Amino acid sequence: MKSSFLTRPFYFLWTTQTAANAADVLYIMALTVLVLNQTESLISAAFMPLMRSGAQMLSGLIAPLLLNRFKLPSLLLLSQTGQFLLFVGLAVYLQLTGKDAVFVLVFALVFAMSFLDGWTVPARNALVPRLVAHEQGLLKANSLISVSDQVVQFAGWGLSGVIVALLGPSPTLLVTAVVYGLAAAFTLGVKEPAEAHLEQQPTDAAPDDSLAAAPASRWHTLTEGWKIIWQMPRLRLLTFMDIIEMLGGSVWVGAFTLAFVQTALGQGEEWWGFINAAYFAGTVGGGLLVLAISRAIGSSLLAAMLIGMAGYGILTAIYALNTQPLIALILVLLMGPFAELSVINRRTLIQRSVDKGVLPKVLSAQASLLNLVFCISLLVMAALAEWLGIVNLYLLAAVLTLLALGVGLIGRQAFRNESAPGARM
């Protein structure tokens, strides 16, 4: 799997992110069990993912100020080390207090960790183009990261459940602290080329570099990523497509998939596990497929993305109308490759559309926006499930994906126009 296009610092980045993602899965599982056992409240447990998304959204809003001040590896190290120290504090607190833990403090620490984590994905995705030796390696690098993300999700939830069952929630938190420590240590090996930070500097100044513009420089820094998204037809289109898809994407959150399995398929919780496992297995296979055919895709990133969206939308519609459990399992397995074909190529298109110096700010703006959309989607889809029914909810998700596909087809002219603010020439 190793490629001459992928550098040693990239593999450190890949390793640290894989370890951090594994730690995230472990601690979310352990905390959820702990909260449920002690409060017997589903609302308290469900509050955690919503709060995490909200913290990451807020973090993304101020991220440009930090991106302006620190190099990306330094920011990544700050984030991972901060999360490690906060988590050690959380684990020790829960060990000492046991059932007397004050969950307001627990949630506050989770919020702080999620806030630090909000810089991680934009910083990682902005670092990837800087750590590949040639642009031909960019699609391979994104595929490799996507595969590891999905493997952690696929294997992580199952294994974390076993670990929590064997060790108990509190000892699992101590194991997680060790994994977080390893993630922070591996970050030390992430080094970007010396010229990468230098090319970022001109974009940090106010447009006319005058003293009169100095008071507005902080506002300029905060809004620069948003302005570039709005000014570049290509980025504006990709972001709009992401928003439309994200509005329907929350239907794959656990509560909705469980309701579909019970209502539409007439099965119990074990089939809920089968459906989740099949979907993640499909996405892992999809990431490996994109990695294998990256040379064949070449510069046809837009076509590959649109094919992925079309396949995913059609299969989601068929899944919604199907009532046979075994067919449902096959459908979600097939969805994975199409989903990965869409996501990986879209990420690569964004990375290749923007100058490396301003890419972190663009990605942080997009991350904030999509976290907000996801929070809204969770609330709206929960309300619509009561009104439309779970089957129609999945049909709506399919329609939204196909709508995003239509937007991409109509606006594909934007991908033929290379001249745009901040674009790479």
Which residue intervals of 188-300 are DSSP H helices?
194-198, 201-204, 217-231, 233-249, 254-263, 269-292, 294-297
- The structure's pTM equals 0.76
- Closest C-alpha among 241, 243, 247, 240 to residue 397: 247
Is the pLDDT confidence value at 214 over 70? no
Q: Under DSSP, is residue 5 helix (H, G, I), strand (E, B) or coil?
A: coil
d(CA 355, CA 64): 15
Q: Where are the domains of the chain?
A: 8-192, 218-415
Is the pLDDT confidence value at 316 over 90? yes
Residue 315: its pLDDT value, please? 95
Residue pair 19/183 in contact by the 8 Å Cβ criterion: yes
Amino acid at position 177, single letter: A
Is the pLDDT confidence value at 47 over 60? yes
Instruction: Give per-residue pLDDT as tens, 241-286.
Output: 999 998 888 888 766 887 888 888 888 767 877 887 788 888 888 8
Confidence of residue 368 (pLDDT cuts 50, 70, 90): confident
Strand partners, 146: none
Determine if residue 422 is left, alpha or beta; phi over 0 gives left, psi from -120 to 50 gives alpha, anything else beta: left
d(CA 397, CA 313): 8
Residue 395 vs residues 248, 249, 314: alpha-carbon distances, Å: 9, 12, 10
d(CA 167, CA 48): 22
Average predicted confidence (pLDDT) for the chain: 80
| C-alpha atoms less than 13 angstroms from C-alpha of 203 in its C-beta half-sphere | 29
Classify domain 218-415 by CATH number: 1.20.1250.20
The percentage of residues in the chain with a pLDDT greater than 70, rounded to a whole number, is 84
- Closest C-alpha among 409, 183, 389, 202 to residue 306: 409
**Cα torsion 388, 389, 391, 393: sign:** positive
What fold does the segment set 8-192 form as a domain?
Answer: Growth Hormone; Chain: A; (1.20.1250)
192 versus 156: which is more confidently predicted?
Answer: 192
Instruction: Give per-residue pLDDT as tens, 278-288.
Output: 888 888 888 88
| C-alpha atoms less than 13 angstroms from C-alpha of 165 in its C-beta half-sphere | 6
d(CA 425, CA 423): 6
